[in-house]
Every structure is written in C-alpha cells, then in structure tokens.
A and B are shown apart, each in its own frame.
Chain A
Amino acid sequence: MSFDLAILALLIGVSAIAAITLRDLVHCVLCLAVTFASLAAVYLRLGAEFLAFSQVLVYVGAVAILALFVVLLTRTGEPRAESRFSPQVMIPLAVCAFVFTGLAAAAWSSSLKDSPEAVGASMKLKDVGRELMTSYVLPLEVLGLLLTAALIGAAILAKADDGEDDEVTDLGESQGQQQRPMVATTHSDPKHD
C-alpha cells in the first residue's frame, strides 16, 4: 500500500469512527461526509474518475444533506448524556462483521487484488457509457424504473400530507389546536441554561 493511500485509509477510518461516536448528531453527519469524500479520493487515486465525482455529487451533495435534514427535522434539544452505545449494539455489529467478511473474501479472491490501478486507468468515460448502454442496459433500466417509482411514490405521499395539513389548519382555526413546528432545531435557548 502506497503512502497516499495509507493517509486516505487513516482518514476514512478516523472519520467513520467519529461518525458513530460523537455526541452531536450533526457532527456525526459531517464526519460521515468526510468519510464519503475520502472514499471518493481513493477512487480518484485508483483512476476511476467517473466513480469518484459521482460519489461526491451523490453522497456528499445529496445523501449527507438528506441525513442532515432528517436530523434537524426529527430531533430537539441537546445531545443526550446517556451511553454512546445502545443495548442492542451486538446485532448491528454482527451484521457489519458478516458484510465485511463477505466483501473482504470477495476482494481477496479477485484477480484485481494486485494492481487495482491498471483497471481504472484503461477505462475512459466513453467506455463506461458504452458498457452501461450495452452490457448493463437491463440493470440500468430496472434501476431507472425503481427510481421513477420511488419519485412518484414520494410525490404521492407529499400530496396526501398536504391535504391532511389543510384539514388540520381548519381544525386548528376552529378548536385552537396547536400545530407542530415545521422546523425543529437542535439548539436550546441560551437564556434557559
């Protein structure tokens, strides 16, 4: 393993551990974004330009932002003071160990183990596109269909929610019912400390 890959591996490891151990959930998500970005750097180092830039575009630009939105919209108050690990920590650990073993075994037995650079460098973007539209056209189309279905599903869910909200607004006006806040922040008021 060369020196730059070692630095990247260290960065990935440290940021991934930080992402699961830090107290503040927003910090965790930002550390996760660092992990994604360092993974992209590994891809770039191995000559897989397209994969690296897609990784940044999708994971740093969309997945990390989505996670941040989820954290902000669901949690309120300060980070909790209880233990960092939930009581059921063994189950996800076992799943992770299983997945890791599978991936490691696959990587170890593959012929790419010795020179991963050679494959990436020979793959131009044009070849990626041609392969996607010829050899892998069926998986591509299936993925497209799946994503379209998810998009339409999300739109329908949002639309149904909209109708209910209008009713709630009417109820709220007549019964003085309190509505839930639209944006919950993780901040507390400094005056109350």
Chain B
Amino acid sequence: MIEWADQIFVLLKREILLLVPVALQPLASILLSVGPIMGVFATLFAATTVLERKGLGRIQNRLGPNRVGPFGLLQPLADGIKAIIKEDVVPYRTDRVLHTLAPILIMVAALLAYSVLPLGRNMVALDLDAGVLFFFAAGATTELAIFMAGWSSRNKYALLGAMRAIAQMISYEIPLILSTVGVLMAAGTLSTTGIVEAQSGYSGLFPNWYVLTPWGFAGFFLFLIAATAEANRSPFDLPEGESELVAGYFTEYSGFKFAMFFFGEYLGLFAANALAITLFLGGWNAPLQILDWVPSYLWFFAKLLFLIGLSIWVRGTTPRLRADQLMNFAWKFMLPMSLVNILASGLWRFTGDGVLGWLVCGSLVAGSYYALGLNLAPKNAVTKRIYRFAT
C-alpha cells in the first residue's frame, strides 16, 4: 500500500504507455513526463504569486489581494486573463526578432532545468550522468536571453538593467557552482538521482543529509544566496530596481511577453530551490525514519514550499544592496568562502563524521566565515567619498 502510494504516478505513466501503440510510445512517454512538470509548476507559480503577495502584505502590515474569489485566491486567474488580453505594445525601432525571442528563450532555459530534477522516487524526466552540469548549462543560457531582452528594447533603462543583470549573474554563478562541488565530491557523482540516493538512510535520529555536516550547512546557505542573486530577487534585485530602472530589462515588454518573463523568473527560482533540496536537503527523503511512509513526492514539494516561503520572507525583510556591495560580497566573501568549503568537504572525507571531523571542518568553516565577514565589514575611518558619473 505504502509502496503503491509512493509510486502511483510512475505506475500510472506505465499503464497509460501500454495503451498507446508501440510506434508512438517514445512521443507519449515524452509528453507524459513533460506535461505534468509544466502543469504542476505552472500551478505552483500561480499559487506562489498569491502566497508572495499575501506574505509581503503581512510583512508590510497590510492585507494583500483579497477581492477576487475567496481570500483573493483567484487573483492569479485574473492576472493571467489580464496579461493575455492586454495589447502587446512593441516600441518603434525595437529589434523585433530578438524582442520576441527573448521571453521564449528565458522560458525554454528555465523549463529545461526541470528535466534533471528528481521530484520523487523514480520521478525524474531525464536521468543524466552529468545532471548537475546540465542544470547549470541550461541556467547559463538565461543570461543571453536577458541580454537580448535589454538590448533589443532600444531603451536605456532596459540596457542598463540587462548589463547589471549579466554582471551580477556572472559574478554569482561562480560561487553557485563552487558551492555544489563539496556535495559532488561526497556523493561521487553528478547524477541528481545518485546524489539523492547518497543521502538516504539515517544515522541515529538524524537523516544523512548533507546540510547536517559543517561544509554542507555552509554550502547550503552559499547556494541559496547565490541562487537568489541568479534569480534577480531581493536583496539582489538591482537589475529590475523599480526606483532606479523603471523595471530593468523588461521595461519595454507588456501583455503576455511580460507575463512570460515573470513566469520564467519564478520557474528559475523554483528550479534553483529544487536543486538546493536535491543537493543538500536529501531530495525526496523523509526527515525522520518513522515518517518514511509518506510518499516521496510529498516530501519534495513540502521542502520546496518551505524554501519558497523562506525566499518570500527574505524578499520582504531585506533592503536592496548597492552595486559595489553586491560585487564585493560576491568576490570577497562568497568566492573565498566556497573555496574554503571545498577544502572542508575534502577534509571531512578523511576525518569522518565523528567529533574530530566536526572540530576540524567546523572550525575551518566558522573561522573563515568570521575572518571574511570581518574583512567585508565597513571600516570605521570616514574617508572622502568619490563620486563617479557617466557623462
């Protein structure tokens, strides 16, 4: 019974495939894998827009959307209809081809990343030997799409937003990838399912998740911070800072194209959170052995909703960074910290997970965190400020 509930979607797909003629089976298999992923995450996107607006409203001491449907739950439906029926305004002199291609490319890049994410036991669309690498390769394409959007709009705010976005994404991509190296070393594989399986099982009361090791703990937060920056979310939302750049690289987009950017951005956020779950939070594994009977996909989505809630909380409570703070943080804190973290995870392999391991790796991670943080802190001496202007 437990086994059946856990594998219900896998069995369902197998049963449906048997009804399809043999010649069409590969196509049907693709559709049966891709369709549910797109449907589920589109629904999650709709739910997140309400959750986010409600959550931000709560943080800012107001009610949030509460007019459409019960408790404002039908708000995303209204937003979607509005986006579809709005006029698609394309400014004169835009580069029409690139202007249309950019939102499509951003969606494609975001959706491609889902093909290697294991959503439950045996529930992965594409079990690649180099799955994690595929995820980052798909994410790297987003930068090009953002540039295309900013440049083709022929608008200075859009171009500035795109330049900011690319500079930020390139800077944070390095700690993002380096923070996963420790996990890859410990698991000995780049396959996403292999990494989740390496974290199954329990030692005592605690699960064997990588987040419960000193290097995994640091790596998890490094990854989450870098992923927030990659997704251009507050406090790293300089590329679309409303008070500075109107809306950044999608200033000149309206109607459904704007909705596609919005959708692509949230899909990217979900994908990054899902990869964080896969790498550090044990993927579909249950946190306690006695809760093992709960279906694996429910655990995955519970963890995903938790991380989404966390990112809404961070967005509601942190102020936007300045451009120089952003770059200093990436290159003077995130990069050295993720390098030290790789060293710590290497040491962990030799010291084991006993007291010695915690002492050596824990002090290495905590010590470098303190030293790097001290280095990053503003100096007390007041110096003359030099202003630079672009004329």
**A72 CA to B151 CA, complexed, in Å:** 10
Does B129 lie at the interface of the complex (its beta carbon under 8 Å from any beta carbon of A)? yes
| Contacting pair B130 A61 (CB below 8 A) | no
Most chain A CB within a 10 A radius of its CB, from B129, B137, B143, B166: B137
* Interface members, chain A 36-72 (any B CB < 8 Å): 37, 40, 49-50, 53-54, 56-57, 60-62, 64-65, 68-69, 72
Contacts A65-B166, A179-B389; is A50 near B130 (CB within 8 Å)? yes
Chain B 255-266, CB-CB to A under 8 Å as 1, else 0, gives 000000000000
Chain B 131-145, CB-CB to A under 8 Å as 1, else 0, gives 001101110110110
Does A178 lie at the interface of the complex (its beta carbon under 8 Å from any beta carbon of B)? yes
**Residue of A50, A60, A68, A178 touching B140 (CB-CB under 8 A):** A60
**Residue of A30, A64, A125 touching B129 (CB-CB under 8 A):** A125
Chain B residues whose C-beta falls within 8 Å of the C-beta of A183 in the assembled complex: 159-160, 163, 390
Contacts A61-B141, A185-B156; is A49 near B128 (CB within 8 Å)? yes
Chain B residues whose C-beta falls within 8 Å of the C-beta of A72 in the assembled complex: 151, 163
Does A190 lie at the interface of the complex (its beta carbon under 8 Å from any beta carbon of B)? yes
| Contacting pair A169 B388 (CB below 8 A) | yes
**A4 CA to B147 CA, complexed, in Å:** 30
| Contacting pair B391 A179 (CB below 8 A) | yes
**Residue of B92, B160, B190, B391 touching A178 (CB-CB under 8 A):** B391
**A113 CA to B312 CA, complexed, in Å:** 55
Does B224 lie at the interface of the complex (its beta carbon under 8 Å from any beta carbon of A)? no
The residue of chain B having its C-beta at the shortest distance from the C-beta of A186 within the complex is: B151
| Contacting pair A53 B144 (CB below 8 A) | no
Does B386 lie at the interface of the complex (its beta carbon under 8 Å from any beta carbon of A)? yes
CB distance from A42 to the nearest CB of B (A): 15
Chain A residues whose C-beta falls within 8 Å of the C-beta of B190 in the assembled complex: 125
| Contacting pair B154 A187 (CB below 8 A) | yes
**Taking beta carbons and an 8 Å cutoff, which residues of A are in contact with B?**
26, 30, 33, 37, 40, 49-50, 53-54, 56-57, 60-62, 64-65, 68-69, 72, 124-126, 165-166, 169, 178-183, 185, 187, 190
CB distance from B378 to the nearest CB of A (A): 18
The residue of chain A having its C-beta at the shortest distance from the C-beta of B129 within the complex is: A125
| Contacting pair B391 A61 (CB below 8 A) | no
Does B93 lie at the interface of the complex (its beta carbon under 8 Å from any beta carbon of A)? yes
Number of A-B pairs whose CB atoms are under 8 Å? 85
**A68 CA to B147 CA, complexed, in Å:** 9
Chain B 88-131, CB-CB to A under 8 Å as 1, else 0, gives 00001100001000000000000000000000000000001110
| Contacting pair A65 B144 (CB below 8 A) | yes
Chain A residues whose C-beta falls within 8 Å of the C-beta of B386 in the assembled complex: 166, 169
Chain B 142-166, CB-CB to A under 8 Å as 1, else 0, gives 0110011001001010011001001
Chain B residues whose C-beta falls within 8 Å of the C-beta of A69 in the assembled complex: 166
Chain A residues whose C-beta falls within 8 Å of the C-beta of B136 in the assembled complex: 53, 57
Chain B residues whose C-beta falls within 8 Å of the C-beta of A64 in the assembled complex: 144
CB distance from B113 to the nearest CB of A (A): 12
Contacts A65-B170, A183-B163, A190-B93; is A60 near B144 (CB within 8 Å)? yes
Q: Sample 13 A-B pairs with CB under 8 A, ordered by A number.
A: A49-B130, A49-B133, A53-B130, A57-B137, A57-B140, A60-B141, A61-B173, A65-B143, A72-B163, A125-B189, A126-B189, A169-B388, A179-B388
Chain B residues whose C-beta falls within 8 Å of the C-beta of A26 in the assembled complex: 151
| Contacting pair A53 B391 (CB below 8 A) | no
Q: How many residues of B contact A (CB 8 A)?
A: 35
The residue of chain A having its C-beta at the shortest distance from the C-beta of B173 within the complex is: A61
Contacts A64-B144, A166-B386; is A49 near B92 (CB within 8 Å)? no
Dominant SS among interface residues on chain B: helix
| Contacting pair A30 B144 (CB below 8 A) | yes
Chain A residues whose C-beta falls within 8 Å of the C-beta of B138 in the assembled complex: 56
**Residue of B128, B133, B144, B189 touching A57 (CB-CB under 8 A):** B133
A-B pairs, top 7 by smallest CB distance, nearest first, are A61-B140, A56-B137, A53-B133, A53-B137, A182-B390, A57-B137, A49-B130
Chain A residues whose C-beta falls within 8 Å of the C-beta of B387 in the assembled complex: 169
**A109 CA to B173 CA, complexed, in Å:** 41
Chain B residues whose C-beta falls within 8 Å of the C-beta of A190 in the assembled complex: 92-93, 154
Most chain A CB within a 10 A radius of its CB, from B98, B140, B160: B140
| Contacting pair B388 A181 (CB below 8 A) | no
**Residue of A54, A169, A179 touching B133 (CB-CB under 8 A):** A54
Most chain B CB within a 10 A radius of its CB, from A68, A169, A182: A68
**A26 CA to B166 CA, complexed, in Å:** 15
| Contacting pair B143 A53 (CB below 8 A) | no
| Contacting pair B159 A185 (CB below 8 A) | yes
The residue of chain A having its C-beta at the shortest distance from the C-beta of B136 within the complex is: A57
**A102 CA to B141 CA, complexed, in Å:** 32
The residue of chain A having its C-beta at the shortest distance from the C-beta of B167 within the complex is: A69
Chain A residues whose C-beta falls within 8 Å of the C-beta of B144 in the assembled complex: 30, 33, 60-61, 64-65
Given contacts A61-B141, A126-B188, A179-B390, 11 further A-B contacts (CB under 8 A): A30-B148, A49-B128, A49-B133, A53-B136, A60-B141, A61-B137, A64-B144, A65-B143, A169-B386, A183-B159, A183-B390
Chain A residues whose C-beta falls within 8 Å of the C-beta of B141 in the assembled complex: 37, 56, 60-61
The residue of chain A having its C-beta at the shortest distance from the C-beta of B388 within the complex is: A169
CB distance from A62 to the nearest CB of B (A): 7
Most chain B CB within a 10 A radius of its CB, from A37, A61, A68: A61
**A69 CA to B169 CA, complexed, in Å:** 14
Chain B residues whose C-beta falls within 8 Å of the C-beta of A54 in the assembled complex: 133, 137
